[in-house]
A = this chain, B = another copy of it.
Amino acid sequence: MAQSLPQVPGIRLASVPAQIKQWQRDDLLLIEIAEGASVAATFTQNAFCAAPVIVAKEHIAEGGVRALLINAGNANAATGEKGLDNARQCCAGVASALGIAPRQVLPFSTGVIGEHLPVHKILDAIPSAVAGLVADGWDSASKAIMTTDTRPKTASRKVHIAGEDIVITGIAKGAGMIQPNMATMLAYVATDAAVAQPLLDQLVKDAVGASFNRISVDGDTSTNDACVLIASGATGTLIDDGASEDFLRLKAAIEEVHIELAQAIVRDGEGATKFVTVQVNNAATSQEALAVAFEIGESPLVKTALYASDPNWGRLVMAVGNAGIENLDTSKISIFLDDIQIVENGGRADGYTEEAGQKVFAQADFTIVVDLQRGDACEHIWTCDFSHEYVTINAEYRT
């Protein structure tokens, strides 16, 4: 049996079947958070954000979050006023069972868009969830939130800070950004460290910027995306200095957990057969470097070439040229596949052979490096290929 995920003092979890869809599996996750914890989150930028996202944003702004309720099978998105009311009813149900206020509960949903949440099923399942709360519920939790994921996504780190062992454990779900019945990437990361709220707010933004905002499966953004970072405060003294060694070490470990979870989403991308890092060096600005990296990582033509193990460098230069960079001097551009130079001065590199390029592209995991020779900014993203299986998965009828 695989080793179970390390527990986080101050956090208890329960996964139960609420039969939100016609399936036999846990589909409702309750996370209970110790009193006094700090909680920070980031949410989807999609203007059509779902009802639970709207409610969660309202509630987290008031502070004092004590519970998260996550359901799979229904996104409660594009559901209007009734959707908001349904999300609030779920929060009230959890609040009543735990003896807290509804505003202390954050709701999350993932699944089909445009159908109303079966609130009664969720309310009926809450008592057994509350009764089943355990500290070692992380593994079950990672499975309860899955939709089209083919495997659970988990990560954990331990870090020794100020004489204490601190644990960071996280789970995530997501394969495509949207799928016929299912949607969304969700991530929940918790540590038992005590972190001041303003530091945690910044930390979740930085960690998401370094992880989930650097991945692309299909370039689409779900209506329900959310990432929550919890510092339960069960261990150690409050960290409130953002420049302190303690904070920086905790931050580094938390970012590692976020990055591992984000990479796991790409590796489990719908139909993906390859995991590819796109690294852009010597751009004028970070923004420019990311624009080039995403143009490559989201181009259907590059992605189908990745699938075919075809080192089609014409498509790579096409994508670089399409990134909207002003005054780009294409004659300075170099491109490498791992350590093989394929483009030099904007043209085919001397000494490059198709065989060498194909050898790199045939790997399941490799890096495309673009050097723009315009400045000092370097950025990277992670992407996957575009396969027949992607079309099959996404062309299936919603049934």
- Cβ of A112 within 8 Å of any chain B Cβ, yes or no, is yes
Some 30 contacts from A to B, beta carbons below 8 A apart, are A46-B318, A46-B321, A46-B322, A47-B321, A48-B318, A48-B321, A48-B330, A78-B343, A78-B348, A79-B347, A113-B313, A113-B314, A113-B317, A113-B318, A114-B348, A178-B314, A180-B305, A180-B310, A218-B301, A220-B301, A220-B315, A220-B319, A223-B318, A300-B300, A300-B390, A304-B395, A308-B394, A310-B398, A390-B391, A391-B391
Interface contact B114-A313, CB-CB below 8 Å: yes
Interface contact B112-A301, CB-CB below 8 Å: no
* Among all A-B residue pairs, the 5 with the closest Cβ atoms: A113-B314, A48-B321, A308-B395, A304-B394, A46-B321
Residues of A within 8 A of B (CB): 46-49, 75, 77-80, 83, 112-115, 176-180, 183, 218-223, 299-301, 304-305, 307-308, 310, 312-315, 317-323, 325, 328, 330-331, 343, 345-348, 386-388, 390-392, 394-398
Interface contact B388-A391, CB-CB below 8 Å: yes
Interface contact A305-B395, CB-CB below 8 Å: yes
Write the nearest CB–CB distance from A397 to chain B, whole angstroms.
Answer: 6
| CB-nearest residue of chain B to A397 | B310
Set B113, B319, B346, B397: member contacting A80, Cβ < 8 A = B346
| CB-nearest residue of chain B to A111 | B314
- Bound together, the chains give a CA A47 to CA B321 distance in angstroms of 4
Tell me which of A80, A323, A328 has the highest count of chain B C-beta atoms within 10 A of its own C-beta.
A80
- Bound together, the chains give a CA A75 to CA B113 distance in angstroms of 44
Interface contact B317-A78, CB-CB below 8 Å: yes
- Bound together, the chains give a CA A387 to CA B390 distance in angstroms of 10
